[in-house]
Amino acid sequence: MLISNRCLYSCMWIFIVSSATFMSVAIIGNLKYPDANIINGNAKKVVIKKDVTNFIKDVAIDTKYQKPFFPDVEQDNVKDLQRNDLPQSAYDIKKIPKETEVKQDMKEDMKETLVKSDDEITVEEEIRSNQDQVQETLKGMSSSEREYYKMRTERVNPFDYEFLVKGENICEPHDPPYLVLLCLTRFYDIENREAIRKTWGSVATTRSWPLVNSKIPTVKIVFLFGGPVDTKVKQSILEDESARYGDIVMADFVDSYVNLTYKVMMGLKWVNTYCPQAKYIVKVDQDMFLHVINLIRYLEGIDDPDPGIVLGYVNARARVLRSGKWGVNFDLYPPTSYPNYTNGNTYVISGKASVKMLKAAEHMPYVFIEDAFLTGIVRTVVGLKIIDHQGFARWNDPPPRICSFHNPFRIAATNTDDTLKESLWKALKYRNLKNCYDAVKRHRVA
């Protein structure tokens, strides 16, 4: 789900200001580590953890450092505290495989994808015949709901728009990417794209990451655009940016809020057409910070059975709104709730599923809520397994703290502006949480 940034920021500020007010009161009152579990701030209830030691122990790579060392660490937001309850297995992180292993994997994938995309009818048949997984995802639903999730025989929602800026050379057949990052940014936010290219997106060009010495698999970043009604000017500007950076793709549909689903369908179509060997596809919004290496390490360790997986922060049993900004017409989607789906700010889809996802999306009625449609409805039709990972971000998460990504479980954070992206990026070069916070304390990072 999406919310206007303006509202998010103002809500955040109310929260920060009221938290800061409380902190000063607490310090003046010599209340260093409050015992109370719940404190009423002006805007929100804030849970304060009694013992910060556990928190630090849990998030730190270096577990030796167990004393509170930075005055605001104790006031971690609720979400981080909840992340303390993660299963231990979440921390079992595999090493990044040697390049030869990755390449071998990719050759296998490449064969499979090419065969499947050859014959359109086969794709439909495959989706329809994949009933085991589909039945699994339909468990607990009424018969009318089950009926709804049958793929339509007609292409009720065709995506026939042409690519105007093709980005046909972004992926190279001899070096197929492990990850393709499909990035959604506002056209005029050139600085935002610069910030992404300089920070977490730089792995696509430098193939390096702060403090990572092992070989990093190939990653590609692609910024997706539609057009206005008359696309000529926009197209020439984007062609320019494409010539400079080689990471732009544009198609000729009208880029608008209601057309957001088309934008991601366009991304799937682009992967199918110009990057079919990609092992995983990541959809990521412009206000995100993505720890690409933590993501790769996680993906290396999971089971990815056919027809593929969807990974992200899962919204369970979300109710369908019928009016307002997120209102969806009953005729297009009658059920009262969405199937479990991942938050749209960042999610991952197996590359091998992209052909089926696009096919199924074209055969289902258009729902403009892109994450609910693609990772909920379409995922259910195709029968993809969904993996909930709380290291991704909720739609309404506050901005991360500077050293948040020293938790190897943390994959994505929302609400990061360009400056925060740069601070987070700099913070990654400190080897452990203590060093990072010491640096923050000395104002070296920010």
What residue ranges bind ligand NAG (CB under 6 A)?
139-140, 253-254, 256, 258-259, 314, 316, 340, 388
Q: How far is the CB of 329 from ligand NAG (least distance, A)?
A: 14
Closest to ligand NAG by CB, 246 or 335: 335
For residues 257, 258, 263 and 264, what is the CA-based torsion angle, rounded to 10 degrees? Answer: 100
Using alpha carbons, select from 166, 167, 130, 163 the residue that is nearest to residue 149.
130
Q: How far is the CB of 56 from ligand NAG (least distance, A)?
A: 28
Using alpha carbons, select from 333, 345, 418, 429 the residue that is nearest to residue 381.
333
In sequence order, the 6+-apart residues with CB closer than 8 A to the CB of 26 are 32, 34
Coil vs helix vs strand at 392:
coil
Closest to ligand NAG by CB, 102 or 265: 265
Using alpha carbons, select from 97, 241, 106 the residue that is nearest to residue 176.
106
Q: How far is the CB of 258 from ligand NAG (least distance, A)?
A: 4
| Residue carrying structure tokens 């990654």 | 428
Q: How far is the CB of 304 from ligand NAG (least distance, A)?
A: 18
Alpha-carbon span 159 to 263, nearest angstrom: 10
> By the 8 A CB rule, do 44 and 17 touch?
no
Alpha-carbon span 28 to 125, nearest angstrom: 69
Closest to ligand NAG by CB, 190 or 254: 254
Tokens of residue 248, six digits: 């732009």
Closest to ligand NAG by CB, 140 or 324: 140
Closest to ligand NAG by CB, 273 or 337: 337
Q: How far is the CB of 269 from ligand NAG (least distance, A)?
A: 14
Q: How far is the CB of 380 from ligand NAG (least distance, A)?
A: 9
Closest to ligand NAG by CB, 135 or 419: 135
Q: How far is the CB of 231 from ligand NAG (least distance, A)?
A: 9
Alpha-carbon span 80 to 390, nearest angstrom: 10
Closest to ligand NAG by CB, 62 or 252: 252
> Is the N-terminal amide bond of 176 cis, ω within 30° of 0?
no
Coil vs helix vs strand at 249:
strand
Closest to ligand NAG by CB, 64 or 139: 139
Q: How far is the CB of 320 from ligand NAG (least distance, A)?
A: 15
Residue 332 buriedness (CB in 10 A; 0-12 / 13-18 / 19+): middle
The residue length of the chain stands at 446
Q: How far is the CB of 8 from ligand NAG (least distance, A)?
A: 23
> By the 8 A CB rule, do 432 and 408 touch?
no
Tokens of residue 149, six digits: 């999730």
Coil vs helix vs strand at 226:
strand
Closest to ligand NAG by CB, 60 or 314: 314
Using alpha carbons, select from 405, 412, 421 the residue that is nearest to residue 390.
412
Q: CA angle at residue 416 from 414 to 417, to 5 degrees?
A: 145
Structural element, H or E, at residue 250: strand 248-254
DSSP lists the bridge partners of residue 220 as: 180
Alpha-carbon span 272 to 95, nearest angstrom: 29
Q: How far is the CB of 388 from ligand NAG (least distance, A)?
A: 5
Closest to ligand NAG by CB, 167 or 376: 376
Closest to ligand NAG by CB, 34 or 365: 365
Alpha-carbon span 65 to 412, nearest angstrom: 25
Q: How far is the CB of 340 from ligand NAG (least distance, A)?
A: 4
